[in-house]
Amino acid sequence: MKKDYLEIAKIINTHGVRGAVKLEPWCDHPDLLKRIKRLYLENGSSFAVAGVKSLNGGYLVAELSGIDTVEKAIPLKNKVLLAKREDIPVPKGAHFICDLIGLPVIDAETNRQYGTLEDVIQNTVQELYAVKTPDGSTVLLPAVPAFIQKIDEEAGIFVTPIDGFFH
């Protein structure tokens, strides 16, 4: 079942004395946060977004409605911000990682199931799909068109790996 709200950033600190908060963005493109007009906390409270600016190092500073002093901002430190799925623009053919985790990884030619997608590793030059195999091992598969043929969020991730990737 797809989640209605997705984790999009973490408040890592306050910024200045007027209640702005420093964000660590958890999305492919930090500028995406500049287009979202309302953010939510896990407890259900929400904030209209008054403004978002970029900082060095990929961080952002956000001004949230009702948070106008540093004293009001301090309790938000280390809180995760969520956005409604429908408020997040997604390019055609793109997928949310949370929708891919747990999908079967299937050979595009033979329909052999290699395992399930356990994680997407993004701190490398190229995204890697961590596939948990039936024997419990994890295989890292580069998420490139040469290997990933099709992603169907209902049926699975269809791949054409080179010999030796999966035993």
CATH number of 5-86: 2.40.30.60
CATH class of 97-159: mainly beta
Written in H, E and C, the secondary structure of the chain is CCCCEEEEEEEEEEECCCCEEEEEECCCCHHHHHHCCEEECCCCCEEEEEEEEECHHHCEEEEECCCCCHHHHHHHCCCEEEEEHHHCCCCCCCCCHHHHCCCEEEECCCCCEEEEEEEEECCCCCCEEEEECCCCCEEEEECCCCCEEEEECCCEEEECCCCCCCC
pTM: 0.77
From first to last of the 167 residues of the chain, give the pLDDT tens digit.
788 999 999 999 999 999 999 999 988 777 788 889 999 999 989 999 999 998 888 899 999 999 999 999 999 999 999 999 999 888 888 888 889 999 999 999 999 999 999 999 987 788 899 999 999 999 999 999 999 999 999 999 999 998 888 86
Where along the chain do its domains lie? 5-86, 97-159
